[in-house]
Amino acid sequence: MELEAFCRKLPKVELHAHLNGSLSHSTMLQLKRYHADSGLTDNTDAFFDEFQIAAGDTRNLKQCFQVFRIAHSLTTTPEALTLATHLTLQEFQDDGCCYIELRSTPRDTPHMTKKQYIEAIILAMLHTPANMTIISRLIVSIDRRFNFAEAQEITDLVIEFHKLYSSVVVGIEISGDPSVGKFQTFVPLLENAKNAGLKVTLHCGEVCNPDEVQEMLDFNPNRIGHGTCILPRLGGNDATWNTLCIKKTPVEVCLTSNVNTKSIANYESHHFKELFDAGIPIIICTDDKGVFATSLSQEYRLCAETFKLDNSQLAQLSHRACLYIFDETSRKTVLDKLEHFITHNDLHLQ
């Protein structure tokens, strides 16, 4: 089987995907049509094409955070959010993804509150179109630029919704512009969420800030995203790298995102290699498949091509990723699917 086809067929789990960053060109067009049909204002025409990166182009992180506003102006009502969620889940399913933890930052808009924002995604996940088999769960995001009160409002909502819909709302995370805000602001809130049974993942080391990386690893999150500036050669230090090697905190690796935002110079020098060799759990993810014009199967293919992995090793990566999904009750279902694929394709796990 061709590598591209294999990567698409391989049952995969997506554990790091921001909803508004995952909107494809076609989803955005459908959202624009919904706006037109509903008589809602749509002011995205002038900069619509800036959202998805052009082939071969890069964008630094700061520029990246500007383009999310384009998607945000198309997801301001519960109906638009439902449509965006369903279309995005369908695309992940079509790409061979069988379980996804989608994450999103609740926003107050002229048409809904933060509470209605979260509720709309939960209901969209509970009431998927009939042909949808992908298992979807929600991680609620806190933006680093939020002050304590704003972050507390979101944490309280997540805990409340986790009690009501524990099968859907599985985690909380910190994201947003890494040069803004302080991790320590959110620690007491994350502790509360943890105590309420939620899992925690953190965007960690997207920019050089070894003190914060150390604080994050010492917090013992269930997973971290990116983990770029942890190795000494990438702006971390011996202490941060040693801590990661000892704790073996699972890392959500987003190759295209890291290279497109210039966090990493090129694929060959990506820290995947060191993480892999050190036996640190790796989960291949997309981050923002809409913004970076990628897909989960493309990330697996890139990984195989860059680091010379064979099909069994790719299956092993996907298999191992299943161990770190937040919804433990879905783990067996997902593993069974993958093991069935492995047996029927003559692949071998080590």
Ligand X SMILES: CNc1ncnc2c1ncn2[C@@H]1O[C@H](COP(=O)(O)O)[C@@H](O)[C@H]1O
- The site string for Zn ion over 232-271 (x = CB under 5 A, - otherwise) reads ----------------------------------------
8 A C-beta contact, residue 212 and residue 240:
no
Locate 133 and state its tokens: 């088999």
Backbone φ, ψ for residue 306 (5° rounding): -70, -40
Among 318, 248, 327, which Cα is nearest to 285's?
318
Question: Counting contacts by CB under 6 A, is residue 141 touching ligand X?
Answer: yes
Interacting positions 277-306 with ligand X (CB under 6 A) = 287-288
Q: Do the beta carbons of residue 197 and residue 214 sit within 8 Å?
A: no
Residue 327 binds what, of ligand X, Zn ion, none (CB under 5 to 8 Å, by partner type)?
none
The count of C-alpha atoms lying within 13 angstroms of the C-alpha of 267, restricted to the half-sphere facing its C-beta, is 12
Q: Which of 14, 91, 101, 206 is catalytic?
A: 206
Q: Look at the block and give the residue holding tokens 């890139």.
A: 302
Query: Among candidates 223, 227, 298, which has minimal Cα distance to 256?
Result: 298
Instruction: Choose, by CB under 6 A, the member of 86, 199, 203, 301 that binds ligand X.
Output: 203
Residue 151 exposure: Cα atoms within 13 Å on the Cβ side: 26
Active site residue 206: yes
Which residue number places its CB atom closest to Zn ion?
A: 287
- Please identify which residue in 52, 73, 105, 286 interacts with ligand X, judged by CB under 6 A: 105
Q: Which one of Zn ion, ligand X, none is in contact with 141 (Cβ closer than 5 to 8 A by kind)?
A: ligand X
Q: How far is the CB of 75 from ligand X (least distance, A)?
A: 8
Q: In the window 277-336, what residues touch Zn ion (CB under 5 A)?
A: 287
Identify the residue whose tokens are 């099909």: 311
206 binds ligand X (CB under 6 A): yes
Nearer CB in complex with ligand X: 12/203: 203
Q: Give least dist CB 144 to Zn ion, A.
A: 12
> How far is Cα 241 from Cα 8, in angstroms, rounded to an integer?
33
- Min separation Cβ 203 and Zn ion, Å: 6
Residue linked to tokens 């997309």? 286
Q: How far apart are CA 123 and CA 204, in angstroms?
A: 30
Q: For ligand X, which is the closer residue by CB, 261 or 330?
A: 261
Comparing C-alpha atoms, which of 183, 180, 181 is closest to residue 224?
A: 183
Dist. CA 301–CA 234, nearest whole Å: 24
Q: Which of 78, 176, 221, 236 binds ligand X (CB under 6 A)?
A: 176
Cβ contacts of 187 within 8 Å, gap of 6 or more = 219
Total number of residues that touch ligand X (CB under 6 A): 18
Select from 203, 199, 194, 193 the least CA-distant residue to 157: 193
CB of 136 to ligand X, least distance (A): 14
- Taking CB under 6 A as the criterion, which residues in 4-63 touch ligand X? 18-21
How near is the Cβ of 285 to Zn ion at its closest, in Å?
8
Task: Kindly tell me which residue out of 27, 77, 257, 295 binds ligand X, with binding defined by CB under 6 A.
Answer: 257
175 binds ligand X (CB under 6 A): yes
Q: Per the structure block, which two tokens stand in for 81?
A: 């959010």
Residue 176 interacting entry, from Zn ion, ligand X, none, C-beta within 5 to 8 Å by type: ligand X
User: Rounded distance, CA 47 to CA 325, Å?
Assistant: 36
Binding site for Zn ion (CB under 5 A): 287
Q: Active-site positions? A: 206
Binding positions for ligand X, rule: CB under 6 A? 18-21, 64, 68, 104-105, 141, 143, 175-176, 203, 206, 257, 261, 287-288
